[in-house]
Amino acid sequence: MSEFIPVFEPLLDGNEKKYLNECIDKGWIGSNGPFVKQLEHDFSAYCCQKYGSTVTNGTAALEVALQAMKDEYSWSDYDEIIVPSFNIISSAQACIYNKLKPVFVDCEDETWNIDVNKIEQVITPKTRGIIVVHIYGLPSDMYKILDLAKKYNLKIIEDAAQAHGMTYNGKKCGSFGDISTFSFYTNKHVASGEGGIVLSSDKNLIDKVNYYKNLCFTKDRFVHNHLGHNLRMSNLQAAVACAQLEKIEKTIAIKKHIGGLYQELLKNIPAKLSKAKMPYAENHYWVFGLVLNDDIKLNAKTAMEKLAQANIETRPFFYSLHLQRAVLNLGIKDNISRPVSEKIYEKGFYIPTGLTLTVEKIEYISNQIKALF
């Protein structure tokens, strides 16, 4: 029996402490500190976008991004945004809070990303944009999505919260969106505990993000024409994120190493594993997922319970957004079928990929998984 193995652990072995000490020594703890500006500059440059605006988390990034777009492009209430059904609640919620209607599209079986062949059939005269999410370590098929966006004049909101440093056909994820968003939550490739950023090369959009995230202050301080939010990131969080960004290539290399080991050790089990690569990308293994074969009686829940008994922490796959009570209660329902995202919730889960994992632990985890069958 191993000691408890968490599903993720960050690695804070760079300049995190040094930069935090700088903040404290100089008194820069608020949102107007130098690390905030540095992060906005360095992270947008890293992702090949012109401008960045830091926020409190990745969910807030999506919310304020849509708020800025709705204003900039004069979208109407209940205009439609296409969202992958296999995803975290944040994207659906960002639409709903902005009075936009999420329209869910199933994912594909290979990568668990949005099924690009099922997008066109849900486009209506009210469709304004697509929230593209790169899921679990492989990017969505961007060229096909960009073609559709062009054909139907749709905006792309690229949620790259799991895709820092990842590339699609050699181009950085986060560089494709009219607006792109990232999270710096503890388990992301760049982590600051909590945090996020909105990127764009359109100055007007970033100006609007800066406006709405900062209580819609005007030149006449304390005179307001609109209601916004306070979503400002602190200099302390930005300090940690700056240190993390410096060593992102090392972080990605560790993730790929862990993923490669699991591929080898688990290759013969009756489950579909995270795919190592697609023609357009290599997997970064933000997480390492497995979907148990249909003809196996075992479902994800039971497998996860058994692994928990062996001290291995796991996480279930996303529960489809179109099935969420919170969404259905608002009357957002349709007759579109989304069998893949429904099935992989029943059969899928992901296993530890913490940055401090040792080879011994990876072997132990793999052996415990094999023992399930």
Ligand X SMILES: *Cc1c(COP(=O)(O)O)cnc(C)c1O
- Tell which one of 16, 63, 159, 178 touches ligand X (CB under 6 A): 159
Torsion of CA 265, 355, 7, 65, to 10 degrees: -120
Q: Closest approach of Cβ 265 to ligand X, in Å? A: 26
CB closer to ligand X out of 49 and 237: 237
Contact yes or no for 295/58 (Cβ under 8 A): no
Token readout for 301 is 């829940």
Asked if 90 touches ligand X (CB under 6 A), the answer is yes
Token readout for 74 is 């004069």
Q: Closest approach of Cβ 198 to ligand X, in Å? A: 12
Q: At 19, is the secondary structure helix, strand, or coil?
A: helix
- Tell which one of 83, 95, 100, 133 touches ligand X (CB under 6 A): 133
Residue where the block lists tokens 């990929």: 353
Q: At 181, is the secondary structure helix, strand, or coil?
A: strand
Asked if 65 touches ligand X (CB under 6 A), the answer is no
Alpha-carbon distance of 145 to 149, in angstroms, equals: 6
CB closer to ligand X out of 284 and 368: 284
Judge residue 344's burial from the number of C-beta atoms within 10 Å of its C-beta, 0-12 exposed, 13-18 middle, 19 or more buried: buried
Q: Closest approach of Cβ 135 to ligand X, in Å? A: 7
Q: Which stretch binds ligand X (CB under 6 A): 76-84, 159-167, 217-225, 323-331?
A: 159-167
CB closer to ligand X out of 90 and 210: 90
Asked if 59 touches ligand X (CB under 6 A), the answer is yes
CB closer to ligand X out of 58 and 102: 58
Query: Which of 369, 310, 350, 252 shows the shortest CA–CA distance to 5?
Result: 310
CB closer to ligand X out of 84 and 228: 84
Contact yes or no for 49/201 (Cβ under 8 A): yes
Q: Closest approach of Cβ 339 to ligand X, in Å? A: 22
Q: By rule CB under 6 A, what count of residues binds ligand X?
A: 12
Q: Alpha helix locations (H) across the chain? A: 16-26, 34-46, 58-72, 90-97, 142-152, 203-212, 235-246, 248-265, 300-309, 325-328, 339-347, 359-370
Sign of CA dihedral 355, 176, 204, 79: negative
Asked if 88 touches ligand X (CB under 6 A), the answer is yes
Site for ligand X in 185-204 (CB under 6 A): 185, 196
- Tell which one of 31, 127, 162, 175 touches ligand X (CB under 6 A): 162
The residue number with the shortest CB distance to ligand X is 58
Give the Å distances, CA to CA, from 13 to 4, 286, 355: 22, 19, 11
CB closer to ligand X out of 185 and 345: 185
| Buried residues in 114-126 as b, exposed as e (16+ CB within 10 A) | bbbebbeeebeee
Q: Closest approach of Cβ 33 to ligand X, in Å? A: 20
Asked if 57 touches ligand X (CB under 6 A), the answer is yes
CB closer to ligand X out of 103 and 132: 132
- Tell which one of 67, 85, 127, 183 touches ligand X (CB under 6 A): 183
Torsion of CA 104, 105, 109, 115, to 10 degrees: -150
Q: Which stretch binds ligand X (CB under 6 A): 54-62, 208-216, 247-255, 298-306?
A: 54-62
Q: Which stretch binds ligand X (CB under 6 A): 16-24, 154-162, 341-349, 354-362?
A: 154-162
Q: Which stretch binds ligand X (CB under 6 A): 144-152, 158-166, 253-261, 294-302?
A: 158-166
Site for ligand X in 301-360 (CB under 6 A): none
Asked if 58 touches ligand X (CB under 6 A), the answer is yes
Query: Which of 75, 113, 114 shows the shortest CA–CA distance to 95?
Result: 75
CB closer to ligand X out of 183 and 353: 183
- One-letter amino acid for residue 222 of the chain: F
| Interaction site with ligand X (CB under 6 A) | 57-59, 88, 90, 133, 159, 161-162, 183, 185, 196
